[in-house]
Structure 1
């Protein structure tokens, strides 16, 4: 991503935040409003919504892009969307707070990483961040929760050992890191790849640390975390179960297609966002993608939610979701 592309992306994010709320997209048996963040979840859902089995059942399909988890929460709470890609902790939090939804699947199992300025020293493990200033987007959401959990496991305390500042979006974190106003940045894909490529254009060679591997080292278990998936409002499941079944199967095929045809998937991503095809190619290579139905992923999800609840049970809405949460 060159400087022009980055500025376009940052401007697009600012524009999204300034826009008024969209009018309600009328929901019916042949219409579906869905939502997704930028990145690979957008590629997966865009592909799935054009699957022949889905288009045969749903004639009109709208795919919105949410700018931050707060906007997603508002859309879901007001039933402006019926289907969305989402961080799994957001899904659990909303469910526990009374939003009628069902988690359909988990398909992103590793997307978070740290980039660090080379002149600040090695970045081989989380403990190397002692004494550094780290930028984190979306306080209280997935990047922050995973990062803070790892700091605690490593025996590091925010404020005492590590300076942490929060930004309202990953785009702001990227800007501050590239300007070297941060020593390191926690970023999801594809912005992690985009930032690495842009830093190299400015003559920087960033250090990089995979947070999923650090989780495995510090907490045990595999380096796979059930970070994001797709949910639907319960009305869709109850009124059109055949649509949910078709969407679930189409999402599985879309995930397989991204892994099987990364160049085509990267082009689809570039066609639907300001990020370039090389950025998406790098992101696909650095993200663990696997579609697992929510019921099958329940043990991993409960272990993950329990770990996040060690920071505060409020991050998942007070406790583990009950059985009705899982499709």
Structure 2
């Protein structure tokens, strides 16, 4: 009799356990999945977008049901409207454009990270004894970027080295980098200011040329050690506040991508081409070490970036949207 009662008790207990397990399974199965979300990301061809190459070419995990959608543009104005309108949640742009977007949207676009230091170089014929900005006294320099940041950086560095543009140094401006490079190739001129990766490509085509001055180094010397922070990633502030986990995942993956690209091996060069940042793998591999690709958080970038903005404002306030960005421009954490 006792045995029958014991078996009945065990049977009831087993039934309860099985029912509980069934309910638990049902509860797990009924947990709702996250809503599908697309994160639209814009990047520029060239150094500003180069650090994203691994993410674009090899993929990036931003979370369950979260998919990145990439746009690669050849000029900032191709993505500016989309950033302002909120069509892009993340974008790689020049830092002065980031400041302009912040001002134009009244703080709705903020800094995500600095991704590029200076990309300007003085390229000269090997016969020229040019090793510093001061050595440009009495010379003629071909350049591009008149009325924009390259001109302001050049003029600032000349001034800090005791030279007055137009008096001590003649600057001849061209609309296209290829025009300035052609002058060097033809022998009509011997010195030019060129951006990367165009400077590297120009050197590769002419063995009589040398990279005479890295203007990022010249800036550091002229400003008591500050970095020339010229490229960055911006984020839509409202979107970032609603999606901190996605922001964190993106920035962690981005930092890793920058490290991978900076190895400058065949894989990195292939990723750069695969991502449509550059179109020549061999040239990409040569250019990467000269493109100053970095990952610097907003708080760490703040001091150097404020110095850069102050210089730009001294030449042309419109270059940063009228004024230096406020403290909240640097407020993103992850």
**Shorter-normalised TM range:** 0.7 to 0.9
Q: Does 1:228 align with 2:231?
A: yes
Kindly report which structure 2 residues correspond to 1:1-327, keeping only aligned pairs within 5 A, or say none: 30-49=37-56, 50-54=58-62, 56-67=64-75, 69-98=76-105, 100-119=108-127, 121-200=128-207, 204-221=208-225, 224-260=227-263, 262-271=265-274, 272-273=276-277, 275-326=279-330, 327=332
Alpha-carbon separation, structure 2, partners of 1:88 and 1:169? 21
> Contact 2:62–2:246 (CA<8 Å) still a contact in 1?
yes
> Contact 1:87–1:229 (CA<8 Å) still a contact in 2?
yes
Alpha-carbon separation, structure 1, partners of 2:175 and 2:85? 23
Size of the aligned set, in residue pairs, is 294
Alpha-carbon separation, structure 2, partners of 1:324 and 1:265? 34
Task: Give ranges in structure 2 of 5+ residues lacking alignment.
Answer: 1-34
Provide, for residues 5-50 of structure 1, a one-character-per-residue CA deviation record: whole Å limited to 9, x for no partner: xxxxxxxxxxxxxxxxxxxxxxx96223322222243332232345
TM-score, normalization: structure 2?
0.77
Pairwise CA RMSD of aligned residues?
2.7
Q: Which residue of 2 aligns with 1:5?
A: none
Q: What secondary structure is seen at the aligned counterpart in 2 of 1:116?
A: strand
Q: What secondary structure is seen at the aligned counterpart in 1 of 2:209?
A: coil
Alpha-carbon separation, structure 1, partners of 2:92 and 2:62? 17
> Contact 2:121–2:195 (CA<8 Å) still a contact in 1?
yes
> Contact 1:85–1:229 (CA<8 Å) still a contact in 2?
yes
Alpha-carbon separation, structure 1, partners of 2:131 and 2:204? 20
Q: What secondary structure is seen at the aligned counterpart in 1 of 2:192?
A: strand
> Contact 1:34–1:63 (CA<8 Å) still a contact in 2?
yes
Q: Which has the larger radius of gyration?
A: 2
TM-score, normalization: structure 1?
0.79
Shift of 1:186: 1.8
Q: What secondary structure is seen at the aligned counterpart in 2 of 1:114?
A: strand
Does the C-alpha gap of structure 1 residues 42 and 179 become closer, same or farther in structure 2, counting only changes over 3 Å?
A: farther
